[in-house]
Amino acid sequence: MSEKKILFVDDEVQILQMLEEAFKLYDYKVLTAESAESALEILAKESIMVMFLDLKLPGMSGIDLCRQIRKKNQIAVIHALTGYSNFFGLLECRSAGFDDFFIKPVGLKALFKAAESAFEKIERWKVFEYDLA
């Protein structure tokens, strides 16, 4: 498998630092952003296929960020992270293009499992990439 590059977007710096440290221990290349706008700048320069986005961000929301990402990347695996949950929020996440939804506080074990599953899925999809070429 190629480099495991992952993006975390959250306005809480401590959460980003903790996630970065934890995922780097497992050989992930971790990029972080404190806002949707910063995340879009990173995505303009980097090809990232697995992302975890906080829903409540300053400026553009995580929902709107997901919609922006989906316009250019239909295959990326994008997970929502939120401290706020309700049924309508879940429906909005699904319609925006999120693949999964995690409620904070969430255990690292669940996030590691989600990331590994996402990279396995992307690796399987690469087979079709060659068939379509």
In the numeric block, the tokens 């995580």 are attached to 62
Q: Is the pTM of this model over 0.85?
A: yes
* pLDDT, tens only, 12-65: 999 999 999 999 999 999 999 999 999 999 999 999 999 999 999 999 999 999
Q: Between vectors from CA 123 to CA 32 and to CA 102, what angle results, nearest 5°?
A: 45
> Which residues form the domain of 20?
5-132
The 10 Å Cβ neighbour count of residue 103 is: 13
Return the axis-axis angle of helices 13-24 and 108-132, rounded to nearest 10°: 70
Residue 117 is part of a domain; what is its CATH number?
A: 3.40.50.2300
Helix H or strand E encompassing 33: strand 29-33
* pLDDT, tens only, 77-114: 999 998 877 766 788 899 999 999 999 999 999 999 99
* Number of domains composing the chain: 1
Amino acid at 24: K
